[in-house]
Amino acid sequence: MRIRSAVVIAVALSAVCSLAAAEGKHKYVGVKKCAICHKSEAKGSQYGKWLSTNHPKAYERLASPEAKETAKQAGVSGDPQQAPQCLRCHTTAYGVDSSLLGEGLAASDGVQCEACHGAGSDYVSLSVMKDRARAISQGLVIPTKETCLKCHNPESPNYKGFNFEESYKKIAHPRSKG
Ligand code: HEC
Ligand code: HEC
Ligand code: HEC
Ligand code: HEC
């Protein structure tokens, strides 16, 4: 019995570890790379739609007077644009191992595509992107409510609740049909 449960635990642990390894190996490439193929109006301009939301302004926001006030009330001292307690939700891939941060990734681009869709290095090539299943196996995330809740939660000092359906409408960027 003892041996059996030890084996079960070992198998479960190795499954968890390989999952972590698979998630961890993709590099972040930055929004400009995605924009190359996702800005055409004919396909719905996901890049243009993203630009029209507040997500790309999330880092810039940390330099505002409101941000300084927020920081003060949250007990965070110093420049909010340098504070890990703010950067983790107001930028993309904060705290990820530096070997996985590509040159194209800039904090100033705020909450970028890859914050929701996963690190892109292994799915951005045209041949992979065209094949949805392959893209997903190479790290593409089809985001759900859970993706949003990583940042839209009560740990945000300005949290006022989060309604997925309504919020999603404000940031939706569907492909054009036809
Ligand atoms: C070389 C061109 C190219 C680049 C670069 C690229 N994509 Fe794509 N992407 C495509 C094509 C082609 C499709 C297939 C559907 C279509 O035609 O819109 C696609 C589909 C997608 C889909 C839809 C998946 C689905 O079926 O639901 C997502 C999400 C996506 N790309 C995200 C990204 C992100 C994020 C980046 C940057 C990290 C990126 N793409 C970079 C060409 C590209
Ligand atoms: C857990 C994630 C998270 C953390 C940590 C976080 N924020 Fe935010 N912040 C958000 C989200 C999400 C919003 C959008 C408002 C909302 O719907 O909650 C936001 C909005 C804001 C706004 C805009 C004001 C408003 O009411 O919309 C400011 C300013 C701000 N944050 C500053 C900060 C500062 C400064 C810190 C660090 C002390 C910080 N945030 C830490 C997620 C976070
Ligand atoms: C990496 C953290 C992060 C993730 C993941 C995230 N958000 Fe946000 N979101 C923010 C921050 C930070 C702000 C505040 C930006 C600002 O105003 O400076 C924000 C603002 C918004 C706003 C405000 C209105 C606007 O015009 O942009 C909406 C709506 C929103 N998010 C929806 C979503 C939805 C829906 C998801 C999931 C599909 C999501 N967010 C995922 C961090 C995040
Ligand atoms: C705040 C999170 C968030 C950000 C940032 C974001 N997306 Fe998305 N994206 C989503 C969600 C949620 C969906 C819908 C997933 C589904 O089909 O259920 C989606 C869907 C898509 C689709 C498929 C659309 C369709 O009609 O099926 C493409 C393509 C895409 N995103 C590309 C991008 C690109 C390119 C960027 C950056 C310029 C980006 N996304 C930024 C959350 C995000």
Ligand nearest 112 Cα, by number?
A: 4
Q: Which atom of ligand 3 is nearest to the CA of 54?
A: 27
106 contacts 87 by C-beta, under 8 angstroms: no
pLDDT at 5: 57
Residue type, 143: P
105 contacts 29 by C-beta, under 8 angstroms: yes
Quick: pLDDT tens for 9-62: 555 544 444 444 445 689 999 999 999 999 999 999 999 999 999 999 999 999
Q: Which atom of ligand 4 is nearest to the CA of 49?
A: 38
Residue 101 CA to ligand 2 center (angstroms) comes to 23
Residue 66 CA to ligand 3 center (angstroms) comes to 17
CA angle 120, 49, 94 (to 5 degrees): 40
Q: Which atom of ligand 2 is nearest to the CA of 61?
A: 29
pLDDT at 1: 45
Sign of the C-alpha dihedral computed for residues 54, 59, 61 and 66 taken in this order:
positive
- Token readout for 23 is 């998630």
